[in-house]
Amino acid sequence: MKTIKTTPIAAVLREPDKFTGREVDVKGWVRTRRGNKNVQFVALNDGSTIKNLQIVFDLTRFSDDDLKAIATGASIHVQGELVASQGKGQSVEVQASELEVYGTADPEKYPLQKKGHSLEFLREIAHLRPRTNTFGAVLRIRHALAFAVHKFFNDKGFYYFHTPLITASDCEGAGAMFQVTTLDMENPPRTEDGKVDYSQDFFGRHASLTVSGQLEGELGATALGCIYTFGPTFRAENSNTPRHLSEFWMIEPEMAFYEIEDNMDLAEEFIKYCIGYALEHCSDDIDFLAEHFDKDLKERLDFVVRNDFVRLPYSEGIKILEESGKKFEFPVYWGVDLASEHERFLVEEHFRKPVILTDYPKEIKAFYMKLNDDGKTVRAMDVLFPKIGEIIGGSQREESLEKLQQRVDELGLSGMEWYLDTRRFGSVPHSGFGLGFERLVLFVTGMQNIRDVIPFPRYPNNCEY
Ligand code: 4AD
Ligand code: MG
C-alpha cells in the first residue's frame, strides 16, 4: 500500500470532481458484491454517508482469495483511481489497484445479507443493525439532533448543567424508579422491625436511578438563570408500547423568570429549530427513510416547522373530545389523564397540527407545578405531536413556599428540604420542560417504534449487551 491519506466516502461523493483522476484511499465494510469472472463490483460503506462508493475489481489483478475476502460484511482498505463511472446508479467509482483485508465475514454466518430485513428481525440482532442502511440513517440523524440541541441552547446563552443519575428523590412522584444498591439481595441487613436497613447500603440510604433531572435543574436555574440538562433517565414502568423505553434521554431546560407563555414560546422554537436542523443537514438520510418507510415524512416535517402550534387549555380539549361523537376506548371526562388515542384525535383529526395543551387538573400532574387561581388546575403544558402523542411535558413551577409546602405535605413527600430551599431563599417565577429525545428522533426519522431509534434499547425483559 502506498501512503495516501484516507478520505471519508462522504467527502469523495460530496466533491467527486475534486477527486476524479486521482488516487484515493478508502476504508469500510462491503455491503454487496456482484459481477462476473472478469470484473467484480463492490458497494463499500464507511458510515460517513448513506451512500456507498462503488469499487471495481479487475480480476486479472486480484486472486481468488482476494475475491473470497470481499464478501458482504468484510472490512477492507482500498486504493485506486477515482474515475467517472460507466454504469448506472453512480457518477464515480474507484478502479481498485490495491486491496488490504482487515476482517472477513463468512457469508454462511453473517446475518446481514443483501435482502432487506424486517425491523423486528433487526431488533433481535441489535448489536449488528447499525451496519444497515436504515440504522445508519437513524443514527446519523440522532447525532445531528443531539448536536442541534446543544447548539440551540448554547447560542441562546443557556448553560449545560449536569444533574446526577443516582438520586434519593423521585421527581415525578410516579414511583417507577430502579433501585441502586450494593446490599446482598439474598441476605440484606434488617432493622429491628424487619425492614431492609438501607443505612448500611452504599450511600447510607435508599437510592435510585433518576427519572428526571428537573429538581436539581431548578437549583441550577435559580443560580445561573437559564440551564438545560441532556442525559439519560430511567423509568421502571411496565409500558410495552412503541413510545416507551426504560432508559431514554431527556433534555430539560429550566429558566428563571420565565412564565408559562415564555416556556411555550421556547418549547415551540426549540422543537422547530431541531427539526429544521435535521432537514438542512440530514437530507440524504431523511430521503432514504422517506422512500423506504414513510413517503409523507418530509412534508410532515416541513409542515411542523412552518406552522404555529395550537395552544389550548385542557378543559377546552376535553370539551372537543366529548363533542366529537367519536367512540374512544377509554372514557373522556374532566379530570381524566388523557390517553394516547385522545391526544392523537386532537392533533391528527381535529386540529391537524401540533397542540400545546395547558392548565391540567392538579391531581394528574406532578407536585411542583404552579397552581392556578381556580385552585383546581396547574400551569402545565404538554406538547402533543402527530404520530407521537406527548413529545414534551413541562410547566411553570410553584414559586410560593407556602403553596409548595402544602402540596408536599398533601402528597406525603419527604426529604425535600433542599428543594424547598429554592423557595425559601430568593424564590423566583420559573419554568421548564422535558423533551423526550427518542420521541423527537422518532418524529424526525418517521420510524414507528421507539426501540428503533436508540442503538441499544432497554425495555421490560430486554437488557442485552
Ligand atoms: O412528562 P414527563 O414525565 O416530564 C418530566 O419528567 C418533567 N420533569 C420534565 C420537566 O418539566 N423538566 O417526561 C418528559 C418527556 C415526555 O413528554 C416524553 O417525551 C418523554 O419525556 N418520556 C419518555 N420517553 C420515552 N420513554 C419513556 N418511558 C418516557 N417517559 C417520558
Ligand atoms: Mg408527561
Kindly indicate the confidence band of residue 111, based on its pLDDT and cuts at 50, 70 and 90: very high
Asked if residue 92 and residue 156 are part of one domain, the reply reads no
Kindly indicate the confidence band of residue 87, based on its pLDDT and cuts at 50, 70 and 90: confident
Per-residue pLDDT averaged across 59-68, rounded? 89
Q: In terms of residue numbers, what domain contains 250?
A: 129-176+211-452
State how far the Cα of 97 lies from the Cα of 66, in Å rounded to an integer. 12
Q: Which ligand is nearest to the CA of 233?
A: 1
Has residue 265 been placed in a domain? yes
Say yes or no to pLDDT of 252 above 90. Answer: yes
At 37, which amino acid appears?
K
pLDDT at 48: 98
| Residue 399 CB–ligand 1 contact under 6 Å | no
What is the count of structural domains for the chain? 2
At 294, which amino acid appears?
D
Asked if residue 133 and residue 81 are part of one domain, the reply reads no
Has residue 195 been placed in a domain? no
Asked if residue 169 and residue 68 are part of one domain, the reply reads no
β-pairing, 53-58 with 92-103?
parallel
Per-residue pLDDT averaged across 190-203, rounded? 96
Residues of the chain with pLDDT > 70: what percent? 100
Asked if residue 249 and residue 134 are part of one domain, the reply reads yes
Q: Return the half-sphere exposure (C-beta side, CA atoms, 13 A cut-off) of residue 17.
A: 0
Asked if residue 163 and residue 19 are part of one domain, the reply reads no
Q: Which residue owns the Cα nearest ligand 1 atom 31?
A: 436
State how far the Cα of 43 lies from the Cα of 64, in Å rounded to an integer. 19
- Distance, CA 338 to ligand 1 centroid (Å)? 15
Asked if residue 162 and residue 83 are part of one domain, the reply reads no
Q: Where are the alpha helices (DSSP H) in 282-345?
A: 283-293, 297-306, 314-323, 340-344
- Distance, CA 393 to ligand 1 centroid (Å)? 6
Give 440-453 pLDDT, tens digit per residue.
999 999 999 999 99
Kindly indicate the confidence band of residue 246, based on its pLDDT and cuts at 50, 70 and 90: very high
pLDDT at 435: 98
Cα 304 from chain centroid (whole Å): 18
Alpha carbon distances (Å) from 360 to 141, 329, 392:
33, 21, 14
Say yes or no to pLDDT of 174 above 80. Answer: no
Asked if residue 413 and residue 368 are part of one domain, the reply reads yes
Asked if residue 143 and residue 95 are part of one domain, the reply reads no
Q: Which protein residues have a CB closer than 5 Å to ligand 2 (ion)?
A: 393
pLDDT at 86: 85
| DSSP symbol at 362 | G
Has residue 116 been placed in a domain? no
- Cβ(285)–Cβ(141) below 8 Å: yes
- Distance, CA 244 to ligand 1 centroid (Å)? 10
- Distance, CA 389 to ligand 1 centroid (Å)? 12
Give 299-351 pLDDT, tens digit per residue.
999 999 999 999 999 999 999 999 999 999 999 999 999 999 999 999 999 99
Q: Which residue owns the Cα nearest ligand 1 atom 25?
A: 244
Kindly indicate the confidence band of residue 69, based on its pLDDT and cuts at 50, 70 and 90: confident
Kindly indicate the confidence band of residue 65, based on its pLDDT and cuts at 50, 70 and 90: confident
Query: What CATH code is carried by the domain that includes residue 287?
Result: 3.30.930.10
Q: Which residue owns the Cα nearest ligand 1 atom 6?
A: 212
Asked if residue 444 and residue 306 are part of one domain, the reply reads yes
322 Cβ contact list (under 8 Å, min separation 6): 332, 333
Has residue 217 been placed in a domain? yes
Has residue 2 been placed in a domain? no
Has residue 460 been placed in a domain? no
Domain boundary among 88, 103, 118: 103
Asked if residue 87 and residue 19 are part of one domain, the reply reads yes
Kindly indicate the confidence band of residue 67, based on its pLDDT and cuts at 50, 70 and 90: confident
- Distance, CA 252 to ligand 2 centroid (Å)? 12
Asked if residue 448 and residue 374 are part of one domain, the reply reads yes
Has residue 439 been placed in a domain? yes
Domain boundary among 69, 103, 137: 103
| Residues 298/303/305/307 CA torsion (nearest 10 deg) | 180
Q: What is the mean pLDDT of the chain?
A: 95
Give 70-84 pLDDT, tens digit per residue.
999 999 999 999 999
Q: Is the sign of the CA dihedral 289, 291, 295, 297 positive or negative?
A: positive
Q: Which residue owns the Cα nearest ligand 1 atom 7?
A: 434
Query: What CATH code is carried by the domain that includes residue 23?
Result: 2.40.50.140
Has residue 268 been placed in a domain? yes
Relative to the CA of 214, which ligand 1 atom is closest? 12
Q: What pTM value is reported for the model? A: 0.96
State how far the Cα of 70 lies from the Cα of 100, in Å rounded to an integer. 10
Asked if residue 152 and residue 91 are part of one domain, the reply reads no
